[in-house]
A and B are shown apart, each in its own frame.
Chain A
Amino acid sequence: MTQSRAAWYFAWALLAPAIIYVLVIVAWPLVETVRLSFTDASLRKTVNYVGWENYTRIFDRDFAEIILRTFSWTFFSVLLKMVIGMFGAVLLNCAVPGRNLFRILTMPPWIVPMAIGIFMWGWMYNGQFGMISGLLQRFGFVDGPVAFLAYGNTAYWATIVTDVWIGVPMVTIYFLAAIQAIPRDLYEAAWTDGASRWYRFRRITVPLMAPAIITMSMLSLIATFNSFDIIWILTQGGPSGSTTTMIIDTYQTAIGSKKYGQGAARAVVICIFLSLFCLAYFRMTRKLSRQEKV
């Protein structure tokens, strides 16, 4: 055996565990889901191929509404996370006494097990026992109890607020790291030239943080688009479907109604959207890295 062939075998031997892992954990379930999406798989023991029927069935008016709702829910949630995360990062970067303590205090939403955090919000939204309704009544903003999860509009925003609460710490810490990587002398030079705090933020902080903002936005977009736990625990997609997003609808179809074929078709549609997001993310990061090299 030549040395180059031995090296080739050795390289494949090293790659083999990763390849097997990807094939078993990612590729096979994905292929199986796509296959299932073309069948009428359900509780029945027989499975028939039904062509594109599952796909044509899901693009009815209801599903179009669900897609729109998913996008709007994701948009507002990611936007709020980015804005609040940036604001928090700038504040935590300020030279104030006890800065480290404040940094630690941003972490609990991220550290607390997600389900516990969501249940806590569920109680806060409760009209009878909840803190928010109680405070609003005490300060005279409302006459009686307000059950935030009872109405379509309030339930929609309540789930977004909870998602933002859970997601903001990670964004804040990531942005803080990015801010700290900006050379101090740029700020000092701008300050010497008389630039205001807002001007320095706009012309130094934001442009130099662009790669971090784009990266975090895309990662947050992918995670938020697929967010299941928050909506499921708080509202199960209700009332009257007002918080049903694509992932909730997929779960209800595949697991709730045991329509595995239709559920798989929905999952494939989600997968396509997420793949597009990933593609956009890779293109943006490639573009940014090219700009940095220039």
Chain B
Amino acid sequence: MTTPVQKSLIGAMLASATALPAFAQDISWIYCGDKIDPVHEQYIAEWEAANEGWTVTPEVVGWAQCQDKATTLAVAGSPVAMAYVGSRTLKEFALNELIVPVPMSEEEQAEYYPNIVDTVTFQGTQWGVPIAFSTKALYWNKDIFEEAGLDPETPPETWEETIDFARQITENTDYAGYGLPAKTMDNTMHQFLHWVYTNNGQIIDADGNIVMDSPEVLAALQAYQDITPYSVEGATAYEQNEMRAIFLDGTVGMIQTSVGAAFLLEDTDIDWGVADLPLGPDAEGPGTLLITDSLAIFDGSGVEDKAIEFAKFITSPEVQEAYEAGGAASLTPLRPGRAVDDMLAAGPYWQPFIDGIEFGGPEPLFTDYRGFQNVMIEMVQSVVTGAAEPEEALSEAAAELEEYK
């Protein structure tokens, strides 16, 4: 027979045993990719050790489903605490109250390269913490340049030169002059935005007005039309990485792509160079589209504050430097610093990817990002295939964008 004391003890033990899981709170994290980066694994363990009673549970989801999964869970009312998302979707999430703001102090903002914080800023506050960053530069094939009668050490610096060099390559060799991707894919729009941002153009202003129907953007679309005859045949069949494969095959003179191509080119016999993106007539300096991915904190998980704390920790300079130097080595660094100086010294090909940041622009933030993207792709494809003239395509697209801003 048990005494009241024994009963009390058993009761206390049961109560404490059932209460234990409640003490350990979890930050669920949708992590895009094939596997967790070892750097993140290491720092998650470190953070958990420093925050007793808290765990971080990353769920690895393939890139294709990653964002849809986080969105669907949030809309269904069972959000994850944190997800890796394209910064372009932050406005859409914020306006629909799916995520919470992640304000940055002035000191935190000052750590980043210029314009990076703009990619996550909407209505004066930040809605995500940048974790991945990509810029583009121009690659050229020196052997093809030489065969075309061009100076292999001199890449084009302006759009005019780019189009002219592409023409000479097409006319004087068996190769295509330029690799223009225009498939029905998001990077068709990204590529076009590189041209927009190398001509001081803009799609939507800080007040949310569509300002795309401008001479700067029209010049970019006109340049697209002009370079198409000297590009790889059938631009609308290829996306950015497929165009990169053609460049790696040594059959196209120039492409615009990320630093990842430099790593792949090192394993080929191609004599290549990389330079700043060529500039349009209205450019103020080297530019590029600044694409960031961010950690967004979803509303309703119950651990928002701690998730923000963790997001800032996992993207803090020390962790981010290790991440960018390790498995995510094809990313452009988010912040300047000694690590970047060392990287530039070891690999001078990095320089153009840093140069473009100053005059670069963010992916425009729209309330319906996919609608915006479809309009931009349609505009580019209509010009590339000759279905529309640049002026007409631009005006039509600018009008359509009003629906999605």
Contact = CB atoms under 8 A, between A and B. Distances in A.
A binds B: yes
A241 B381 CA distance: 10
A239 B381 contact: yes
B237 A127 contact: yes
A126 interface: yes
B378 A241 contact: yes
Most buried by B among A145, A148, A238: A238
B198 to A, nearest CB: 25
B381 A257 contact: no
A257 B184 contact: no
Interface stretch (A21-29, A42-50, A106-114): A42-50
B237 A126 contact: yes
Interface in A109-146: 125-129, 144-146
A260 B68 CA distance: 13
Given A149-B234, A240-B381, A42 B96 contact: yes
Given A145-B234, A258-B370, A235 B92 contact: no
A235 B245 CA distance: 18
A195 interface: no
Nearest to A45: B97
A257 B403 CA distance: 12
Interface in B170-189: 182-185
A126 B235 CA distance: 11
B235 A150 contact: yes
B236 A44 contact: no
A276 interface: no
A237 interface: yes
A236 interface: yes
A150 B182 CA distance: 9
Contact of A255 (B68, B92, B98, B249): B68
B98 A146 contact: no
A147 interface: yes
Contacts of A240: 236, 378, 381-382, 385, 387
Interface in B8-33: none
A45 B75 CA distance: 7
Interface residues of A, number: 32
Interface of A is mostly: loop
Contact of B184 (A44, A45, A146, A236): A236
B234 A150 contact: yes
Contacts of A149: 183, 234, 236-237
Given A235-B184, A239-B183, A257-B370, A145 B233 contact: yes
Contacts of B92: 43, 258
B96 A44 contact: yes
B71 A144 contact: no
Interface in B347-402: 368, 370-371, 374, 377-378, 381-382, 385, 387
A151 interface: yes
B238 interface: yes
A151 B237 CA distance: 8
Most buried by B among A145, A152, A258: A258
Nearest to A147: B234
Nearest to A127: B234
Interface string A237-269: 111110000000000100111101000000000
B233 A146 contact: yes
Contacts of A237: 184
Most buried by A among B71, B97, B234, B385: B234
Contacts of B382: 240
Contacts of B377: 238
B381 A147 contact: no
Interface string A146-161: 1111111001000000
A238 B236 contact: yes
B140 interface: no
Contacts of A235: 184
Contacts of B385: 150-152, 239-240
Interface in B78-116: 92-93, 96-98
B246 A236 contact: no
Contacts of A44: 96-97
Given A127-B234, A240-B236, A255-B68, 18 more contacts: A43-B92, A43-B98, A44-B96, A45-B97, A126-B242, A127-B237, A128-B251, A145-B234, A146-B233, A149-B234, A151-B234, A238-B184, A239-B183, A239-B236, A239-B237, A240-B385, A252-B374, A260-B75
16 contacts: A42-B96, A43-B75, A43-B96, A44-B96, A127-B232, A128-B246, A146-B234, A147-B238, A149-B183, A238-B183, A239-B182, A239-B236, A239-B381, A240-B382, A258-B71, A258-B370
**Top-6 shortest CB links A-B:** A147-B234, A238-B184, A150-B234, A150-B237, A147-B237, A239-B236
Interface of A: 42-45, 125-129, 144-152, 155, 235-241, 252, 255-258, 260
Interface of B: 68, 71, 75, 92-93, 96-98, 182-185, 232-238, 242, 245-246, 249, 251, 368, 370-371, 374, 377-378, 381-382, 385, 387
